[in-house]
């Protein structure tokens, strides 16, 4: 990764940490799940409002490090409007991107790709995947 690109990626993470999107409770949520990372102290709740098979709304609240918060913000933005199957596929892609080094990132929003740099810091991978696991857990609770 060249340094311009990594600066761009960093600015996405800083932006989402400073002004997290969908950072609110969802009173009419149809499912929710909590995620914790005791190693870092990250703790979040993720809410989903399903309309049939679609995620009509996604939100989160909680506290944690910049990576965990930015990732949760990016996650809620990325899954909104997707079907359950699409959100699951995106989860798999994201998880692979950070742990297995998947090369096929087609269909992944650019913002989410900004988190690819986290791969170089194995201790922080949990920070990044925390809210995604919670999202998937909420999806499964919905089924």
Residues that bind Zn ion (CB under 5 A): 40, 42, 65, 68, 127
Shortest spacing between CB 55 and Zn ion, in angstroms: 24
Q: How far is the CB of 43 from Zn ion (least distance, A)?
A: 10
* Closest distance of CB 50 from Zn ion, Å: 28
CB closer to Zn ion, 40 vs 56: 40
Please classify residue 130 by burial: count the beta carbons closer than 10 Å to its beta carbon, then call 0-12 exposed, 13-18 middle and 19+ buried.
Answer: buried
Q: How far is the CB of 90 from Zn ion (least distance, A)?
A: 21
Give the CA diameter of the chain.
44
Which residues, 6 or more positions from 52, have their beta carbon under 8 angstroms from its beta carbon?
A: none
What's the angle, vertex CA 112, arms to CA 59 and CA 47, rounded to 5? 15
C-beta closer to Zn ion: residue 42 or 57: 42
Which CB sits closer to Zn ion, 35 or 49? 35
Q: Which of 53, 117, 115 is nearest to 87 (CA)?
A: 53
In this complex, which beta carbon is closest to Zn ion, that of residue 65 or of residue 105? 65
């Amino acid at each position: 990764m060249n340094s311009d690109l990594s600066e761009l990626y960093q600015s996405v993470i800083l932006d989402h940490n400073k002004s997290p999107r969908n950072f609110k409770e969802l009173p009419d949520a149809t499912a929710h799940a909590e995620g914790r990372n005791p190693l870092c102290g990250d703790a979040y709740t993720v809410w989903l409002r399903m309309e049939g098979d679609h995620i009509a709304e996604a939100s989160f609240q909680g506290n944690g490090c910049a990576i965990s918060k930015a990732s949760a913000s990016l996650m809620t933005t990325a899954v909104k409007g997707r079907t359950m199957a699409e959100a699951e596929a995106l989860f798999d892609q994201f998880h692979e991107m950070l742990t297995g080094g998947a090369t096929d990132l087609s269909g992944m929003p650019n913002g989410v790709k900004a988190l690819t740099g986290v791969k170089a810091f194995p201790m922080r991978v949990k920070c990044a995947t925390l809210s995604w696991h919670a999202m998937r857990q909420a999806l499964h609770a919905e089924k």
